[in-house]
Amino acid sequence: MSEAPICIRRALNTDVEGIVQVMEEAVRTMERPEWFVSDDEAFIREHIDSKGFTMIAEKSDLQGCEEEKGNPPHRIGGFLIVKFPGLSEKNLGHTLHMPKENLLRVAHMDSAAVLPSWRGQGLQGKLIDAAERELIGGPYTLLMATVHPENRFSLNNFLRRGYTVKATVRRYGGLLRYVLLKDTTKGSV
């Protein structure tokens, strides 16, 4: 019997517990603790459908990646939270001195984590790609992220997808971060 396929989809409220478990394990097993800043359950819930959305990678018990009503929850192996910061002071566009009209076009590729046993399959990149597809045709065309300069895995995932380093700053209590930007109006997603 072959291994269940890995599917990428938008998270639902019923996925919050699984996302929290991935986050907690990622924090425990991170090569360097300063590479990842975890969020709390309330933040995750807010970014399922109101202040953004979340993409998850899961193993499906089905032949394909189709969802079925009543199907038992799947094991989540990774996630990416997309945040719509609006005009808040946390909008990374402020770091680049963007005008108000551009700040409203910013979406953050915020928290991402993959379970250690799922690493090496390119899941973070697949989650980024899926999130970008979700954003096509909408108002969010300036995609931003932060990455610790030494986290070559995450950094390379973004750079390969057309993000560029625009600044180096201290955030999250003084931790060093690159600020990355991708303008989707300048090319295909």
Q: Which domain holds residue 60?
A: 6-186
Looking at the domain assignment, is residue 33 inside a domain? yes
Looking at the domain assignment, is residue 82 inside a domain? yes
Looking at the domain assignment, is residue 1 inside a domain? no
Looking at the domain assignment, is residue 121 inside a domain? yes
Looking at the domain assignment, is residue 111 inside a domain? yes
With a CB cutoff of 8 Å and minimum separation 6, the contacts of 112 are: 78, 79, 80, 81, 124, 127, 128, 154
Looking at the domain assignment, is residue 165 inside a domain? yes
What does the pLDDT read at residue 38? 64
Query: Average pLDDT per run of 10 along the chain, which is 189 residues long?
Result: 75 93 81 65 82 92 50 74 96 97 97 88 94 96 96 94 96 89 80
Looking at the domain assignment, is residue 129 inside a domain? yes
Q: What distance in Å separates the CA atoms of residue 39 and residue 111, rounded to the nearest whole number?
A: 8
The pTM score is 0.85
Number of domains in the chain: 1
The CATH number of the domain holding residue 103 is 3.40.630.30
